[in-house]
A and B are shown apart, each in its own frame.
Chain A
Amino acid sequence: MAEISSMHIECIIDKDDFNAAGEASSKVKKSLNMLGIPPKTIKRIAVAMYEAEINAFIHGGGGKAVADIYPDRVEVLISDEGKGIADLDLAMQEGYSTAPEEVRMLGFGAGMGLPNIKRNSDELDIDSAPGKGTRVKMKFKLS
């Protein structure tokens, strides 16, 4: 039998609603707060998840955020059906960004999102290809 998570959170990342982008990470943060998880651990999870959500919004044309909180870990999947990443090694480099001018005006485009995700997660698996969308899978230990 599959393990049942203590809490399941799912949000649509609507490509037309910039204000709602990041909703899922905010919900996860609040849930973890209530569970009494240490603030440093919560911040790691919230930041990594937010970066992936925003990427799905800005670069992926919207998608979906799913998070499962287990007693010992949090698992997150952020997916989109957007243009995908052609060169993942390049995209992972700090400072690399293809963010368009209009989102740079909003404070995005430092090219630090993926490096932030890498640093803050315990396991990271990015599955992406041009025309195939992007799936960012993250795992965080709760200890």
Chain B
Amino acid sequence: MKLSEAAAALPVKVLTGDCVRDPEISTVYTCDLLSRVMSMSEKDCIWITVLTHLNVVAVAQLADIACIVIPEDIPVPESTIEKAKEEQISIFSTSLPTYELCWRLHDLMSGTEA
């Protein structure tokens, strides 16, 4: 599934505008410890985290992450959004908590979506 298709099928707001880089999503990963994310995440994955500072974009860029999803309507600083655009990484925001978001993504990616 393409990142843009996931964006369209989920209750998310795309903070970075149109998906500049729109790869096939590899998998979904969620963790708020940056070293762990760098060692465990896969290329072109969606990463769900509650962290919103600028270095989150740096980590995503270094780890070849396609998209950062911020749950629970946590506000994202404008500087983080700008940096993500520069690095061609998408940021989505959603009101869903992480558990529910993972559940929906799972259904979506395994094609069990009603």
Please tell me if A113 contacts chain B, counting CB pairs below 8 Å.
yes
Please tell me if B63 contacts chain A, counting CB pairs below 8 Å.
yes
- The SS class assigned to the B binding surface is helix
Q: Enumerate chain A residues within 8 angstroms of B51, measured Cβ to Cβ.
A: 106-107
* A19 contacts B33, C-beta separation under 8 Å: no
Please tell me if A137 contacts chain B, counting CB pairs below 8 Å.
no
How far, in whole Å, are A90 and B13 apart by their CA atoms in the complex?
44
Q: Enumerate chain B residues within 8 angstroms of A112, measured Cβ to Cβ.
A: 33, 35-36, 39
* B36 contacts A110, C-beta separation under 8 Å: yes
Q: Which residue of A lies closest to B62 (CB)?
A: A46
Select the stretch in B52-60, B68-76, B105-113 that faces chain A: B52-60
- The SS class assigned to the A binding surface is helix
How far, in whole Å, are A29 and B54 apart by their CA atoms in the complex?
17
How far, in whole Å, are A96 and B62 apart by their CA atoms in the complex?
23
B34, B43, B79: the one within 8 Å of A39 (CB): B43
Q: Enumerate chain B residues within 8 angstroms of A21, measured Cβ to Cβ.
A: 55, 58
A: number of interface residues (CB 8 Å): 25
Please tell me if B61 contacts chain A, counting CB pairs below 8 Å.
yes
Chain A nearest CB from B74 CB (Å) reads 13
* B33 contacts A107, C-beta separation under 8 Å: yes
B36, B43, B62: the one within 8 Å of A29 (CB): B62
Please tell me if B64 contacts chain A, counting CB pairs below 8 Å.
yes
Q: Enumerate chain A residues within 8 angstroms of B32, measured Cβ to Cβ.
A: 107
A43, A106, A108, A115: the one within 8 Å of B62 (CB): A43
Q: Enumerate chain A residues within 8 angstroms of B43, measured Cβ to Cβ.
A: 39, 43
Please tell me if B38 contacts chain A, counting CB pairs below 8 Å.
yes
Residues of B within 8 A of A (CB): 32-36, 38-39, 43, 49, 51, 53-56, 58-59, 61-64, 79
Residues of A within 8 A of B (CB): 18-19, 21-22, 25-26, 29, 39, 43, 46-47, 50-51, 54, 106-113, 115-116, 119
